[in-house]
Structure 1
Amino acid sequence: MRLVRILVDDDDRESVVSVLQGKDVDYVVSGESADGDAALIEFPLPTDAVGDVLGSLDEAGYEETYTVISQVESAHTPNTETLMDRYADDFDPLTPRELKSKASDMSNDTWSFLALMLLAAWIATAGLLSDSPAIVVGSMVIAPIVGPALTASVGAVLGDREMLAASIRLQAMGLVAAVAGAAALAGLVRWGLFAQPELALGSIELIGVRVSPTLLALIAGTAAGAAAAFGLTTKGPMSLIGVMIAAALIPTAAATGIAVAWADPLIAAGTLVLLVITLVAINLSGTAVLFALGYRPDRALTAGSWRSVRVVVAVVLLLSVVVLAGAATASQVSHERTVHQAVHAELSEHEDVEAIAVRMEYGDLSPFTGPETVTVEATHEGEGDPPEDVADGIEERLGDSSDREIEVRVQFQEYQTAR
């Protein structure tokens, strides 16, 4: 339930009261303004009715000189049940003022935000180096990245340039702090001899899945941003959705910091590209959902000032990054599909052979064009030794469908099946 308080001029009182009565809204006149020319009218509403009622008041000529919307635990008036039944099945997103307020309430001050991001990165670093999914999940719970991610989308659709700029700046600062903090802790772990200095980071599964952008990672980031934006427009809580936003960003930022500490430019470059693409996907999908739900700025962003020009330039640069990253990701996704098709086509030629996993490792800083090693883990359930020409067959198929330099390795796992 929401309690709405509006200050209505004496000249507009009759039209406002007429709207409230026409919608069966119970109201009281609780006070007057200091000059006595206006009255304070308050009335409880179901949350999904706020947008409809305030929209009707605007059409009736009410000017929002003083409007307060607060949350209440419960309300009982003669028409409360009627209103709740009427709007029970309606999806009415929060009004722009409620949306902006809810997004702002999720934001921390700069120092507490950076401190929580740093702590989350440390926890994620510990989880990645110990290959512990439970610890990595813990880092997602405390990371407050969902706040600035959503306020950026809200600022974009409502035309609030200051909110948009502050949110983008805070996101950048938070992820820089996360990467730097992860690198510092990983360096301490490495050079303090708490871990093997020559540890192969790609052998850690939780890091290996984040070494380059993939279609599934892009889908996860896009869906997380869309879900967060949709959840923001409802009366529901945001804590669990915030965990999904953090899940798409914090472990990847920690993986980048670990790669920096281990002086592994391949993994550092791959995870950094994945981090940037995911962040952009979250922001753009959140903005797109809010725009699709009908949120619009009260005034358009114009190019009549130097600040506006800077905003336009920043947007153009951001879109350029998105286009380039998207093209590179599409190329990589297409190549990965080609690799998987070649692997499964070759394995289908051999009886009792089945693939378990296919991993790709790159030999330089160009994961989209450089040489790579494809490692296939497979099982052989037939009698005798596994076939010896599987790797050659896969490499030959890839040579026909790809112009990249690819080395293929096949590792067979042995299993015992209970009879």
Structure 2
Amino acid sequence: MRQVRILVDEDDRETIVDVLEDKDVDYVISGENATGDSVLIEFPLPTDAVGDVLGSLDEAGYEDTYTVISQVESARTPNAETLMERYAGDFDPLTTRELRSKASDMSNDTKSFLALMLLSAWIATAGLLSDSPAIVVGAMVIAPIVGPALTASVGGVVGDREMLAASIRLQAMGLVAAIAGATALAAVIRWGMFAQPDLALGSIELIGVRTAPTLLALIAGTAAGAAAAFGLTTKGPMSLIGVMIAAALIPTAAATGIAIAWRDPVIAAGTALLLVITLVAINLAGAVVLFGLGYRPDRSLLGGSWRSAKTLLAIALLVSVIGLTGVATAEQISHERTVNQVVHAELTEHENVTAVAVRNEYGDLSALTGPETVTVVASYTGGGDPPSDLAADIEERLDERSDRPASVRVRFQEYQTAQDSNGSSGS
């Protein structure tokens, strides 16, 4: 339920009251203001009725000079049940006023935001290096990145320049702090000999899956941003949706920091590229969902001439980043699809061999022309030794399909299966 308070001119009082009575809204007039020419009208509404009733008041000539919308636990009035039943099956997104307020409430002050980002990055770093999904999930829970991610989308859609600029700045500062914190902690772990200095980072599964942009990672980031924006427009909580936003960003930022500490520029570049494209996908998906739900700017994002120039420069910079990361991601996704097709075609020619996982990584700092390292994890259920020439056959097929040089590695996982009722088995 929401409690709405509006300040109405005495001349418009009768018109506004007529609208409320037509919609069966119970109201009270609490008194006149200091000048004596306006009255304060307050009334409870179901959350999904706020947009409809306020829209009708605006059409009736209500000037939005003083409107307060607050949350209440319950309301018992003559028509409360009628209104609840009337709007129970409707989905009415929060009004622009409520949307901006809810988004602003999710924003932390800069110091606490950076502190929580740093702590979540440390937890994620520990989880990645220990290859512990449970610890990584803990890092996602405390990361506050959902606030600035959503306020950026809201600011862009409703035309709030200050909110948009502050959100973008806060996201950048938070992720830089996360990467720097992860780098510092990973350096202490490495040089303090709490982990092997020559550790192959790509062999750690939780890091290996984040070494390059993939279609699945892009889908996850886009869906997370869309879900967060949709959830923001409802009366529901945002805590669980915020975990999904953090899941798409915090482990990747920590992986970038770990790669920097281990002096692995290839993994550092790949994870950083994944981080940027995921962040862009989250922000754009949120803005698209809000725009699709009908939110529109009440003022232009461009202000005066100097402010317009700065805004246009920022937009051009953003478009350039989106373009470059988009091209690199599209190339990587296309190559990933080709690799999967080649591996599938080759494995179908071998009995008792099936794919468990296929992972392709950048071979140098170039996302467009550099070599690839393709790691194939396969299960083998036949007798004797697994085929020894599988990696060479896959590499030969891949060279025929792609212009990018590839190095293929195959790792077998052997399983025992029951062959017959006499107890014989294969391994």
Instruction: Report the residue type matching 2:348 in the other structure.
Output: S
Instruction: Tell me which residue corresponds to 2:204.
Output: 204
Instruction: Tell me which residue corresponds to 2:335.
Output: 335
Instruction: Tell me which residue corresponds to 2:124.
Output: 124
Instruction: Tell me which residue corresponds to 2:352.
Output: 352
How far apart in 2 are the matches of 1:252 and 1:133? Answer: 13
The 3-state SS of whatever aligns with 1:216 is: helix
Instruction: Tell me which residue corresponds to 1:97.
Output: 97
Instruction: Tell me which residue corresponds to 2:73.
Output: 73
1:108-257 equivalences under 5 Å are: 108-257=108-257
How far apart in 2 are the matches of 1:195 and 1:409? Answer: 25
Report how far residue 374 of structure 1 moved.
Answer: 1.9
The 3-state SS of whatever aligns with 2:167 is: helix
- Unaligned 5+ segments in structure 2 are none
How far apart in 1 are the matches of 2:75 and 2:364? Answer: 65
Instruction: Tell me which residue corresponds to 2:260.
Output: 260
The CA deviation string for residues 202-257 of structure 1, in whole angstroms up to 9 with x for no partner, is: 11110100001011111111110110000000000000000000000000000011
Report how far residue 313 of structure 1 moved.
Answer: 1.6
Instruction: Tell me which residue corresponds to 2:26.
Output: 26
Report how far residue 2 of structure 1 moved.
Answer: 0.2
How far apart in 1 are the matches of 2:207 and 2:177? Answer: 19
TM-score (norm 2): 0.96
Does 1:271 pair with 2:271? yes
Instruction: Tell me which residue corresponds to 2:374.
Output: 374
Instruction: Report the residue type matching 1:349 in the other structure.
Output: E
The CA RMSD over aligned residues, in Å, is 1.2
8 Å contact from structure 2 (residues 302, 311) kept in 1: no
Does 1:83 pair with 2:83? yes
The 3-state SS of whatever aligns with 2:417 is: coil
8 Å contact from structure 2 (residues 212, 361) kept in 1: no
How far apart in 2 are the matches of 1:302 and 1:177? Answer: 30
Instruction: Tell me which residue corresponds to 2:394.
Output: 394
The 3-state SS of whatever aligns with 1:194 is: coil
Does 1:326 pair with 2:326? yes
The 3-state SS of whatever aligns with 2:88 is: coil
Does 1:286 pair with 2:291? no
Instruction: Report the residue type matching 1:351 in the other structure.
Output: E
Instruction: Report the residue type matching 2:84 in the other structure.
Output: M
8 Å contact from structure 1 (residues 303, 309) kept in 2: no
8 Å contact from structure 2 (residues 376, 410) kept in 1: yes
8 Å contact from structure 1 (residues 2, 44) kept in 2: yes
8 Å contact from structure 2 (residues 280, 322) kept in 1: yes
Instruction: Report the residue type matching 1:207 in the other structure.
Output: I
Report how far residue 121 of structure 1 moved.
Answer: 0.5
The CA deviation string for residues 283-340 of structure 1, in whole angstroms up to 9 with x for no partner, is: 1110111011111111223364211221122112212211221121111111111111
The CA deviation string for residues 354-407 of structure 1, in whole angstroms up to 9 with x for no partner, is: 122222243321243212232222222223332333223212211211112122
Instruction: Tell me which residue corresponds to 2:404.
Output: 404
How far apart in 2 are the matches of 1:136 and 1:391? Answer: 33
Instruction: Report the residue type matching 1:34 in the other structure.
Output: A
How far apart in 2 are the matches of 1:7 and 1:359? Answer: 62
The CA deviation string for residues 68-119 of structure 1, in whole angstroms up to 9 with x for no partner, is: 1000000010000110111011110000000000000000101010001011
Instruction: Report the residue type matching 2:75 in the other structure.
Output: A
Instruction: Tell me which residue corresponds to 1:41.
Output: 41
Aligned length: 419
**What is the aligned-residue identity percentage?**
80
The 3-state SS of whatever aligns with 2:379 is: strand
How far apart in 1 are the matches of 2:302 and 2:109? Answer: 29
Instruction: Tell me which residue corresponds to 1:364.
Output: 364
How far apart in 1 are the matches of 2:400 and 2:42? Answer: 74
The 3-state SS of whatever aligns with 1:413 is: strand
How far apart in 2 are the matches of 1:356 and 1:413? Answer: 9
Report how far residue 193 of structure 1 moved.
Answer: 1.2
Report how far residue 31 of structure 1 moved.
Answer: 1.8
The 3-state SS of whatever aligns with 2:5 is: strand
